[in-house]
Amino acid sequence: MSYSDIMSGLMLLFLFLLIAIISEAPENHSYEIADNYEFMKDDLYKELYREFKYDLPKWNAHIDKKTLIISFNEPEILFERGKDNLKPLFQNILDNFYPRYIKILSQKRFRINISEIRIEGHTSSEWNFNSTDHEAYINNMALSQRRTAGVLSYVLHLDNIPNYSWARNTVISVGYSSSKLKLISRNEDKDASRRVEFRVVTNAEDKLYELIEALSNKNNQYVKNDIDDEYLVKTIALRR
């Protein structure tokens, strides 16, 4: 089983748990948490889209409303084939993009709901003609990790980053090799698979624990009330 399959399974389990807990949690509290969380994501998407809507076509980039992922999809702009050095054009894009991106995410109303900002590197499944699938995957994993580490190093050395300390402690780099290929009619789109993505990871897990705590407090109150009622009945009986 691949790492991506395991993560997909865990996410599905997480969703089932969240649904089950919300159904049992105090109604007003669960609705308030869910509503606030969705409003935050919607507001963040609107802010990002408003900021970058004219730049995205020039950069051959896209922002996904559901996941809040910003994808840079033009491999000829990003890196040389099989290499990890950022091309000058990609550096220029990052100079323009990253400070504005962090300025939005570091606003208090957003950053309190953000646990990580991931720079994610993806490759095609290709390596060279005599490589096995396993060798190609391992080599592309190392390449994707070097590339995202290079992007992270580059943006951390920019001078005009707002809330720099928060950004430095929040932004990480991850390489996925060819584990998340882009497909067309079940066939690999090799150019689309070679991409760099900026992903906002929200603290949904913290929200789950908040709901669990609310449910636990509710159940504890029920137990306390039952004990109090039992004590009251026994007291009345003794007095009789």
Summarize pLDDT for 158-217 with one digit per residue, the tens. 998 999 999 999 999 999 999 999 999 889 999 999 999 999 998 866 666 666 666 666
Residue 155 in domain: yes
Residue 219 in domain: no
Residue 191 in domain: yes
CATH code for position 183: 3.30.1330.60
φ, ψ for residue 72, nearest 5 deg: -100, 115
Residue 228 in domain: no
Whole-model pTM: value is 0.74
Query: Rounded to whole angstroms, how far apart are CA atoms 88 and 74?
Result: 14
- What pLDDT score does 78 carry? 94
Q: Could you give the C-alpha distances from 99 to 73, 93, 106, in angstroms and in order?
A: 20, 11, 10
- What pLDDT score does 171 carry? 97
Residue 188 in domain: yes
- What pLDDT score does 101 carry? 98
Q: Give long-range contacts, CB 8 A cutoff, 24+ apart: 35-44.
A: 37/113, 37/202, 37/204, 37/207, 40/109, 40/110, 40/113, 40/202, 41/68, 41/202, 43/109, 43/110, 44/68, 44/104, 44/105, 44/110, 44/200
φ, ψ for residue 145, nearest 5 deg: -70, -40
Which residue type does 6 have? Answer: I
Residue 49 in domain: no
The parent domain of residue 138 ranges over 54-202
Average pLDDT of the residues in 64-90: 93
Query: Rounded to whole angstroms, how far apart are CA atoms 180 and 30?
Result: 34
| Domain count across the chain | 1
Residue 2 in domain: no
pLDDT reading at 122 higher than 90: yes
Residue 41 in domain: no
